[in-house]
Chains A and B, each alone.
Chain A
Amino acid sequence: MGDQKPETEGYVGQSVRTIEGRAPIMGKATYTNDINFPGQLHAHILRSPHAAANIKSIDTSGAEKVAGVVRVVTGAQAAEYIDPIPHYIDPAVFGGRSATIRCLALDHVWCFGQPVAVVVAEDKRTARYAVSRIVVDYEVTTPVIDAEDALKDDSPMVVPGWDANMIMQIPFGGGDVAKAFSSADRVVKTDVKVHRFSTQPIETRTYNAVYEAGTESLTLYGTVQNPHPLRHVLSKILRMPENKIRVHAPVIGGAFGMKMHGHPEEGLVCFLSKLIGQPVQWVEDREECLLIGAREQVHSVELAVTKDGMILGLRDHYLANTGAPSSCPGWGMAMLTGLTMPGPYSVQNLDVQLSAVVTNKPGWNASRGYGKEVTALALELSVDNAARELGLDPVDMRIKNFIKKDQFPYDSPTGLIYDSGDYEGVMRKAMDIIGYEDWKKQQEEAREEGRYIGIGVGFELTPEGGTLPGTLVAGYDSSTVRVAPDGSVRILTGVTTPGSGNPTGIAQIVADELGVRLDTIEVVQGDTTTCPYGFGNSSGRSTIVGGGSAAKAAIEVREKIIKVAAALMEVGESSVTMKDGIIVSGDKTIGLEEVCYACYTRAYDVGSVIDPPLEATAMFKPGLVRHTPNEKGQINPYPSYSNAAYVAISEVDVNTGEVKLLKFSVAHDCGNVINPILVEGQACGAIMFGIGAAMAENITFDENGRQLTKNFMDYVMPRIGDVPPITLAHHDSPNPVNYKGLKGAGEAGVGGSAAAVVNSVNNALSPFGVMMTETPLTAPRVWSAIQEAKKAQPQRKVA
C-alpha cells in the first residue's frame, strides 16, 4: 500500500456502498429465521379467541399425546418459573397505571390473540397441530372496544382491579389559552380520527433461544432492535443475572419499531429452552404480527385564529386507544403526540390533554414516527381546514405561523427546546421542486375537463434521538474502534441497524476520522457479548450517537497510530498526516500496516510512546436534552429536531372515490448528510409509510373485539404502483451541538406525508366542499364523502 495515493476527498457526504451491505442481494444474509441448531425445537402458541374472558381450566392432555410433542406449558405452570415482563417504558415512572404483564395469561385474557399456552415440538407442523388439541374453558366477559366507551362510568374494567380504563391523563401546554380563544376572530374545530396502524416489516419476529446447562447461560438470537436493554428485561423474567445472558440480533428484515422489546414471546422462548435444555425457536406468522397495533387516536383540535390566519391558541383534548396493556413501548407514542404539539407553529397558548385509554383490543408497539406523526396529521389537517374556513391559502397560513429561522433555539410551550430550522425555507423548497404553481394551472385545466387533481402540503417536525429519564431509552451511546496489527479496522457499536444502512454511515465517519480506506473497515452490531453497552435502534438515533461515539473513539486510536508512525519515521508528530491508510510526513511515507504491526510488536522501543492495543471505546451524549424539570415540571427529551415539508399531487375519480397519487416531493432538514443515497432511502420509505397510513392500511375488529385483519389482503400496504415518483431535496440547518450537525434521518416523514395526501384529496374535492379528516381514505369512504357533500351542498347554499 506504500505508494498508493489517497483516492478520495473523504467518504462523508458520498453515496458509497459497503461490502457487508451486499449479502442480502446474494441471498447470503443470515436473518434470525435462517438459524437452525442441532436439536432445534419449535414452539407454537395458543392464543385467546376472545377479547375478554376468564380462564376456568385448560386441558393439555390432547396435545401431550401427539407424537413429536416435547412439552406443553400453560400460564399457571410458567408462572412458577418466570416473573412478569418489565415495561420498556413503565407508565408508573410518569405517574400512570402500570399493569402486570406475563408471557402467558394466568386466569384472565384481556385481548384477542393473547398467548394462553405453548407447545414445543420437534417440528413446526407438529407444534401447530398439537396446539389445536388444547382445550380451554373460557368464561367470556363483555369486552370494551371503543376508547370513548371505556371511559363511561359503567364500563367493564380491562385490567382487573383498576378503577378506570386509563393508563394516564396528562396535560401539556401553557400560556393564556382562555384569553387567546376569547380574543380570536374565529375558532375552527377539526375532528381528526387516526385509525389503528401496524408497521409490518416483511420479516416477522423470530426468536431462537439456546440454554447451556453446563454454564447456566443463555443466548437469545432474535429480531431485536435493542439487545442490551432486552438482556436486562430477560434477566428479570428469567431470574438470571445479566452476565449469564447474551442477546444477539442477526441481520434484521426491517423493524420500524415492531422489534422493540416487551413481547411475551421473547421471555417465553428463553424460558422454554431453559426448561427443556434444547434450542427452541418461535417464528411469528403474519396473522400474529398483525395483532400488534399503534396510533389509534381521536383528536379534536380547536384553533383560535384571527381572520388573516394568525393562530392565537390551540386546544386539543385527545383520546388514544392503546389496546390492552403491553410491556412494549407503544403506549408512549400517545404521550409524545402531545409533547410535540404545536409542532412547527409559533403558538404559545396551548391546552393539550392526552387520555391514554386501555381497551380489549391487542396492545401497541412503537411505530415509525412514535406519536410525532400523529401530531403532524392532527395539526396539518386542522390548518388546512382553518385555511379553507377563512378563505386563505393553506401555504400562506402555514408560513405566517411558522417559527422563524432566527428564533432558534426555540422554547416550545410543552417544554421542548427546538435546536434549529428554517421551516419556511423547507416549505418553499418542497413546493419549488415539484413545480407547485405549475400544478395549480394543471389543476384548473383538469377541472374544466371534469378531472379532479388535488395539491396538498404537509409539514412535520420530528424530534429525534429521544431519551426518557428512568427508562432504558437512553440518549447517549458508545462504540469501540479496534485496529488490528494488519491495519484492518473493526467498529463495534451499541447502536444496531434494522436494515437502514447506519453501519455504512458509521464506517464512512470512521474512515475519515481515522484516515483509512472504507473497505478496510468492518462494523459489528447487535451482540451484547461483543459490543459495548448500548441502546440499539430507536428514534432516528443510530447515526447521531453511533457515528458520534465511533468518531471520538477513532480520533483516540488515530493519535496512537500517528505517535508510533512519527517515532518510526523519526519526525515530529505534528508533521504526520494520515489519509486512506497512507501516512505521510514531508517526503517520507509509511504504510498503515507497518505502523500497526509496530504498535503491537515493539512495545519496548518505538511502540513505547503509546499503550497498546490500538483500541478505544468512547461515548457520545448529545446536548440540549434537559431531564431536570423546569418550573412548569417539563423536560426536553430530544437533542435534535429534524423537519420536512411534503407536497402530494393526487387525482380523484369522483365516480368511484379512487385516489391516484401522481407526484410527491419532500424537502428535508436532517442536519448534515453522511450518505445521500441512504438518507434518500429512509425518506422515501417513510413517505411510503405515510401513503399507506393515509390511503388503505387499517386494522378492523368485529363487535366482540375479534380482529378481522389477518393477512396482506386485509391489511393493504402500498405496492410499487401505489407510490408515485418522489423528488427529494435537502434544506439543512445543522444541529449546533451534535457531531457533524446530525439530526437523525430514519424516522421522519410518516405524518407529514400522510397529511399531504389527505390534504391533496380534500383539495381535489374542494369544489364539492369535501373535508375528510378521518383516515384511511379508502375508495368507498371517499365516494361516500362526495355523495354526502353533494347532498349537503344545496342546503348550504339555501342557508
Chain B
Amino acid sequence: MEDMLEDTVLVNLRINGRLHELEIPAHKSLLDLLREDLNLTGTHMGCMTGHCGACTVSIDGRVAKSCITLAATLGRAKITTIEGLTQDDGTLSALQQAFWDNAGFQCGYCAPGMLLCTVELLETNPDPSDADIDTALAGNLCRCTGYQSIRRAVKAAITTTKEGAPQAAE
C-alpha cells in the first residue's frame, strides 16, 4: 500500500473564547479544522478558492477566509466564528437581531461572511456610508437576497449600535 505520509503540526488556538490544542496535518485549512475537528459547522464551504466568503471567520480581529488559511500558520491566534456571535444563553447579538428582523438572509449559507464582515466594519467605522457597507461586504456572495435586505439589516444594526447595544457577545 502507498501512503500519503503527512507532517503534523501542533497548534494552539483560542476559538470563541475557548482554548484548543490540536495536532493537525500541515495542509489543513482553518475551515476544515473548524468543521471537522471542532464540529463548528456554522462556517460554510462555498468554493474553497477564496471567492465566496461563506467561510469567513475573524482572526485576531480581522476577517479572513478560512478556506484559504492554513490552520498550521495560526499559532496562538484568537478566532471568532459565527457561533461566537451569540451569547452563551442563546441571546442574539444586536447585529444578528437586525439580520433576523430585516430578513437579512434567506437560506443563510452566506451569513458567516455577512455578519463577521459587518462586525469588523462597525468596529472600525461606527457610521459607515452605503459605499462603505458595499466595500466591507464586497468579498461575500449572496445568491438569495439580492443584497437589499442585507443593506437594510446593516443599517438597522448601525442604529441600534448608536443607541448603545453591544455588537457581539464577548
Contacts and interface: CB of A to CB of B under 8 A. Distances in A.
Interface residues of B, number: 61
Contacts of B99: 25
Contacts of A21: 100
A681 B47 contact: no
Contacts of B146: 681, 683-688, 723, 726
Contacts, number: 190
Nearest to B86: A26
Interface in A1-38: 15, 17, 21-31, 33-34, 36
A201 B109 contact: yes
B155 to A, nearest CB: 12
Nearest to B99: A25
Contacts of A36: 36, 39
Interface stretch (A306-314, A473-481, A493-501, A761-769): A493-501
B42 interface: yes
Contacts of A126: 4
A681 B109 contact: no
A799 interface: no
Contact of A203 (B36, B44, B51, B102): B44
Contacts of A23: 108
Interface in A702-718: 711-713, 717-718
Q: Which of A17, A25, A685, A723 has the most CB of B within 10 A?
A: A25
Interface string B91-114: 010001001111111111111100
B64 interface: no
Interface in A54-110: 65-68
B151 A27 contact: no
Given A67-B1, A67-B4, A684-B149, A677 B103 contact: yes
A31 B109 contact: yes
B128 interface: no
A678 interface: yes
Q: Which of A126, A204, A719 has the most CB of B within 10 A?
A: A719
B52 interface: yes
Interface stretch (B7-15, B71-79, B132-140, B158-166): B132-140
Q: Size class of A's contact patch?
A: 35 or more
B46 A285 contact: no
A15 B101 CA distance: 9
Contacts of A721: 134-135, 138
B108 A712 contact: no
A720 B134 contact: yes
A27 B81 contact: yes
Contact of A25 (B35, B115, B137, B142): B115
A719 B44 contact: no
Nearest to B35: A34
Contacts of B104: 25
Contacts of A711: 47, 49, 51
Given A254-B144, A499-B109, A67 B45 contact: no
Interface in A106-133: 125-126, 129
Contact of B133 (A202, A285, A720): A720
B101 A17 contact: yes
Nearest to B108: A24
Given A25-B92, A27-B43, A30-B41, A501 B106 contact: yes
Given A253-B109, A499-B108, A685-B144, A202 B4 contact: no
Contact of A500 (B48, B106, B112, B133): B106
Given A17-B101, A125-B27, A713-B51, 12 more contacts: A15-B103, A26-B82, A26-B86, A66-B1, A67-B3, A286-B48, A498-B107, A687-B146, A711-B49, A719-B138, A720-B151, A721-B138
25 contacts: A17-B101, A24-B109, A27-B43, A27-B86, A27-B111, A27-B112, A33-B44, A33-B45, A68-B4, A203-B109, A253-B108, A499-B144, A500-B107, A680-B103, A680-B148, A684-B145, A684-B147, A685-B145, A712-B51, A712-B141, A719-B137, A720-B133, A720-B134, A720-B138, A725-B148
